Every structure is written in structure tokens, then in C-alpha cells.
Amino acid sequence: MSAADPSTWDAEAPTFDEAPDHGLLDADVRAAWRTLLLGVLPPAPAGVVDLGCGTATLSLLLAEHGYAVDALDFSPAMVQLASDKVAGAPASVGSRVAVRQGDAGDPGLAPASVDVVLCRHVLWALPDPSLAVRRWVRALRPGGLLVLVEGDWSTGAGLSAAHCASIVGESCARVEVRRLGDPRLWGREIFDERYLVVARP
């Protein structure tokens, strides 16, 4: 089982939202992510692409605040759950999210077509993260933003902040890394490296 294989994520899908930071089912955890993301994103309505959207939790969180979201994942089971969740959201929110199946590493975005590329916990799993970031940055409109959430997890999976910043630095002139040690984001204390990267070309 490899993280680059959609079937790995199909197997994760049914229980994926049980982790506090995945489903954001706890109001305090949800509020912490809302504050974090709205604090770095340009004001709504801006166009966001959520690459490797999983069950579309972040897509819907942003749609609740007026963002238009293109949500993409390569796992058929994740896409199904994301589509179900979007269909079950109030029409005013769900109508702002379009879910599609595709490869985050090559999402087929037109140059200068999106305001924000958002990618949480996915870059580490891509076979060629440098190439993916180059493609994402090309898709940003002038003034656009790359927003990544990654980690170097105690499980042994992930990407260190230094490595991630160096990959992003190949395509972006301004790269800011912020540690995400606040337990409210995770529903518990954490002891590994988790971080936000906000970058502009």
C-alpha cells in the first residue's frame, strides 16, 4: 500500500473524518481551522482549488464563508464521500463547491485561473512534489497564494518543514512557514512537526 495509490485512500475513506482535524466535527477544532485559514486567505469571494480534498471538509468550511471551491481528489471513495457531503450541505454552501476526480500532481488548471491553491496533507504523498508545485504556482492569478498544510508526523510519514519550504522556494519568491503546534487544531497535544506554508510567486 503506497500513499501514491488511490486504493490506499479508498481504504481510509470510510473512517477518515473520525480524526478531529479531518472531519472538524468538534466545534472548537473547526473554529481553530476556520480562524487559521480565514486569517491567511484573501477575502471571499475568491476562487480556491482544494487539491487532494479528501471528504471536502475544508472545501465546505471555506464555502460557508463565501469562497468558490474546485475540490479535486484521485480516490473514488473520497470523491464519493465529498460529493455526498456537498450534496447534504445547505444549497447556498454546496453550490459553491464543485467536486471532481483528478490528479493533484497534474490538476489541469489553466494558467492564472485561481486565487488560492490549498493543499492540506497531500504534497508529501506526491511522486514529484517540485513539479506539482510548479504547476500549481502557474495556475495562480497575479496576487494569488499557495497555502499548504503539511507535517513530519510521528508515524514516519510526511515532509519536514525545511524540505517543504525548499520545494516551494523553487517556484515562489516569498515563502512563510508557520508552526501549527496549537492543540486546538488537532484536538490534542502534538509532539511532531506540523506547519502551514503560505507562499507567493
Ligand X SMILES: C[S@@+](CC[C@H](N)C(=O)[O-])C[C@H]1O[C@@H](n2cnc3c(N)ncnc32)[C@H](O)[C@@H]1O
Q: Is 104 in the site for ligand X (CB under 6 A)?
A: yes
103 vs 51: CA distance, rounded Å:
8
Cβ–Cβ < 8 Å for 197, 148: yes
For ligand X, the binding residue among 53, 109, 137, 164 (CB under 6 A) is 53
For ligand X, the binding residue among 41, 46, 125, 140 (CB under 6 A) is 125
Q: Is 197 in the site for ligand X (CB under 6 A)?
A: no
- Three cell numbers written together for 60: 465546505
Q: Among the candidate windows 40-48, 116-124, 133-141, 186-194, which touches ligand X by CB under 6 A?
A: 116-124
Cβ–Cβ < 8 Å for 62, 37: yes
20 vs 30: CA distance, rounded Å:
9
Q: Is 49 in the site for ligand X (CB under 6 A)?
A: no
Site string for ligand X, 77-96 (x = CB under 6 A): -x------------------
Q: Is 159 in the site for ligand X (CB under 6 A)?
A: no
# binding residues, ligand X (CB under 6 A)? 19
Beta strands in 35-139 (DSSP E): 47-51, 68-73, 97-101, 114-120
Bond from prior residue into 201 cis (ω within 30 degrees of 0): no
Q: Is 114 in the site for ligand X (CB under 6 A)?
A: no
List contacts with ligand X (CB under 6 A): 9, 22, 52-54, 57-58, 73-75, 78, 103-105, 120-122, 125-126
